């Protein structure tokens, strides 16, 4: 792993991985701050800031930003999540100085012009409307809302129409000064990049970043609650998400949870896909996932199916969860490990994927994790650990159920909870 790390005197961390066979470079700035760092009256401001960073600086208009990067065939984009925000570019090796200059410009000299803000609010309102018209987005937002009720982790990243409409340039600057500081930022590049040269470019252009926040960043401790949320809609299919509290990144069972999710619903050979979709034909999509956060996690099973299939589908899913707490085969673990290893290695063939992977590891663990070390962590996972984890995840915790669409035949959460807690018990709707 040809990774080099330099921590500047300002506190900013610069990381590169040279991939000499390439002609391009993927580079970006990752900030250890996202929607969870918003205060009560800032819901949606992290995402709005990400949009506004591209809407003009003291040196460039919004059009200038777009044209300058595209004049050299490059790409520029950004993304906001619950705990991180990223601004990234991909260019040919000769255009790295330009990309660094543009990224530094939008992160240190954005003007947040009132007229641009008005227009961008309108764009985000359309984005919120589009998300609300997408049932498979709605079911996940509602899941988080009930699983972490009354908390920043349970709020949609986009915000609400009311909160977005009310934001001012001053509020954006306040969030920026509190969260975009060198102790929380990582500049990462992968591809045809020279570390020493890149560090000098970053040091020169990012000198204006504040070292410490004006006030300490906000991050309330997550409290998983669980519960039931449903929205009946006149749709062709029902979106159902059954989930439980998962494991945080630093917890012992984090990697074990990743393997378990893969075995249950990580591909066409997984248990849920084979039993629910292939053998029974109960849905057109079913998968399991495990998301880790800094202090909690979500383990979920998502299915998209017709409303008439729900009485049969849910008991079959519960039965597969129960079976996973009783028996896991070594062959399944080996297959899941092979899939994860392949994903790691394939990701290293893409400079954009590799830059993102390095940035996430720096934010989570403070260092890049070599592949052999990652695989060593996975090697220690046994069938006994997996069945024990499944028992604790699925049957010793409060479930969360989110459903959208023609869900009149979906059993009550009390019945589903009883079926999870009692072997052999079916939900009333299913038995009927």
Residue 372 pLDDT: 87
Residue 211 pLDDT: 86
Residue 272 reports pLDDT greater than 70: yes
**Strand-strand pairing, 185-191 and 13-18:** parallel
Task: Tell me the C-alpha distance between 243 and 139, whole Å.
Answer: 12
Angle CA(336)–CA(341)–CA(344) in degrees, nearest 5? 130
Residue 427 reports pLDDT greater than 60: no
CA atoms within 13 A on the CB side of 26: 21
* Burial of 142 per CB tally in 10 Å (0-12, 13-18, 19+): buried
Residue 430 reports pLDDT greater than 60: no
The maximal CA–CA distance of the chain, rounded, in angstroms, is 70
Cβ-Cβ contacts under 8 Å for 310 (sequence gap 6 or more): 238, 240, 407, 409, 410, 411, 429
Q: Report, in angstroms and rounded to the nearest whole number, the Rg of the chain calculated over CA atoms.
A: 23
Residue 215 pLDDT: 72
In this prediction, residues 77-101 reach a mean pLDDT of 97
Residue 328 pLDDT: 97
Question: Do 205 and 104 form a contact (C-beta atoms < 8 A)?
Answer: yes
In this prediction, residues 167-183 reach a mean pLDDT of 95
In this prediction, residues 4-18 reach a mean pLDDT of 96
316 band by pLDDT with thresholds 50, 70 and 90: very high
Instruction: Write down the mean pLDDT value for the chain.
Output: 93
pLDDT tens readout for residues 193-232: 999 999 999 999 998 898 887 677 667 899 999 999 999 9
In this prediction, residues 70-89 reach a mean pLDDT of 97
Residue 375 pLDDT: 85
pLDDT tens readout for residues 93-120: 999 999 999 999 999 999 999 999 999 9
pLDDT tens readout for residues 138-161: 999 999 999 999 999 999 999 999
Instruction: Say whether 50 is catalytic.
Output: yes
In this prediction, residues 392-410 reach a mean pLDDT of 95
3-state secondary structure the chain: CCEEEEECCCCCEEEEEECCCCCEEEEEEEECCCHHHCCHHHCCHHHHHHHHCCCCECCCCHHHHHHHHHHCCCEEEEEECCCCEEEEEEEEHHHHHHHHHHHHHHHHCECCCHHHHHHHHHHHHHHHHHHHCCHHHHHHHHHHHHHCCCCHHHCCCCCCHHHHHHCCHHHHHHHHHHHCCHHHEEEEEEECCCHHHHHHHHHHHCCCCCCCCCCCCCCCCCCCCCEEEEEECCCCCEEEEEEEECCCCCCCCHHHHHHHHHHHHCCCCCHHHHHHHHHCCCCCEEEEEEEECCCCEEEEEEEEECHHHHHHHHHHHHHHHHHHHHCCCHHHHHHHHHHHHHHHHHHCCCHHHHHHHHHHHHHHHCCCCCHHHHHHHHHCCCHHHHHHHHHHHHHCCCCEEEEEECCCCCCCHHHHHHHHHCCCCCCHHHHC
CA proximity to 31, closest of 174, 217, 160, 197: 217
pLDDT tens readout for residues 321-357: 999 999 999 999 999 999 988 988 888 899 999 999 9
pLDDT tens readout for residues 279-288: 999 999 999 9
In this prediction, residues 398-407 reach a mean pLDDT of 97
* Burial of 166 per CB tally in 10 Å (0-12, 13-18, 19+): middle
423 band by pLDDT with thresholds 50, 70 and 90: low
Residue 98 pLDDT: 98
In this prediction, residues 166-195 reach a mean pLDDT of 96
In this prediction, residues 115-141 reach a mean pLDDT of 96
CATH numbers and ranges of domains, the chain: 3-205 (3.30.830.10), 227-431 (3.30.830.10)
Record the pTM: 0.92
Residue 180 burial (CB count, 10 A): 21
Q: Which of 17, 42, 50, 68 is catalytic?
A: 50
Residue 214 pLDDT: 67
Among 50-54, 80-84, 394-398, name the one with the lowest average pLDDT.
394-398
Residue 306 reports pLDDT greater than 90: yes
The residue that leads in pLDDT, 425 or 299, is 299
pLDDT above 70 as % of the chain: 96
The residue that leads in pLDDT, 322 or 422, is 322
CA proximity to 159, closest of 43, 33, 39: 43
Cβ-Cβ contacts under 8 Å for 396 (sequence gap 6 or more): none
Question: Do 241 and 140 form a contact (C-beta atoms < 8 A)?
Answer: yes
């Amino acid at each position: 792993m040809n990774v080099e790390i330099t921590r500047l005197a300002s506190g900013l961390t610069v990381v590169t991985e040279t991939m000499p066979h390439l002609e391009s470079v993927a580079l970006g700035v990752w900030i250890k701050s996202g929607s969870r760092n918003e205060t009560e009256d800032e819901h949606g401001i992290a995402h709005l800031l990400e949009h506004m960073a591209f809407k003009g600086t003291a040196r460039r208009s919004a059009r200038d930003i777009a044209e300058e990067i595209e004049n050299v065939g490059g790409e520029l984009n950004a993304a906001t999540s619950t705990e991180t925000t990223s601004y990234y570019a991909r260019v040919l090796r000769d255009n790295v100085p330009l990309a660094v200059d543009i990224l530094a410009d939008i992160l240190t000299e954005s003007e947040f012009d009132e007229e641009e803000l008005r227009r961008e609010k309108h764009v985000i309102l359309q984005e919120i409307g589009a998300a609300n018209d997408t049932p498979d987005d709605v079911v996940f937002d509602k899941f988080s809302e009930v699983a972490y009720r009354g908390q920043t982790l349970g709020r949609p990243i986009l915000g609400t129409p009311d909160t977005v409409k009310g934001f001012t340039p001053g509020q954006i600057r306040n969030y920026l000064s509190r969260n975009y500081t060198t102790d929380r930022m990582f500049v990462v590049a992968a591809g045809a990049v020279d570390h020493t040269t890149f560090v000098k470019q970053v040091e020169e252009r990012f000198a204006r970043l504040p070292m410490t926040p004006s006030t300490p960043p906000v991050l309330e401790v997550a409290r998983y609650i669980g519960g039931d949320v449903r929205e009946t809609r006149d749709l062709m299919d029902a979106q159902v998400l059954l989930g439980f509290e998962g494991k945080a990144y630093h917890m012992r069972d984090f990697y074990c949870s990743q393997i378990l999710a893969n075995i249950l619903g990580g591909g066409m050979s997984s248990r849920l896909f084979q039993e629910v979709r292939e053998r029974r034909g109960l849905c057109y999509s079913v998968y399991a996932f495990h998301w880790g956060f800094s202090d909690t996690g979500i383990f979920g099973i998502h299915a998209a199916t017709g409303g008439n299939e729900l009485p049969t589908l849910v008991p079959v899913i519960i039965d597969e969860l129960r079976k996973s707490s009783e028996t896991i085969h070594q062959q399944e673990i080996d297959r899941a490990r092979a899939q994860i290893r392949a994903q790691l290695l394939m990701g290293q063939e893409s400079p954009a994927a590799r830059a993102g992977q390095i940035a996430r590891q720096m934010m989570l663990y403070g260092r890049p994790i070599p592949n052999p070390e990652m695989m060593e962590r996975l090697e220690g996972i046994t069938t006994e650990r997996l069945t024990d984890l499944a028992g604790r995840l699925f049957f010793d915790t409060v479930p969360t159920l989110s459903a959208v669409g023609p869900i009149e035949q979906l059993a009550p959460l009390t019945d589903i909870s009883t079926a999870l807690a009692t072997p052999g018990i079916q939900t009333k709707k299913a038995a009927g």
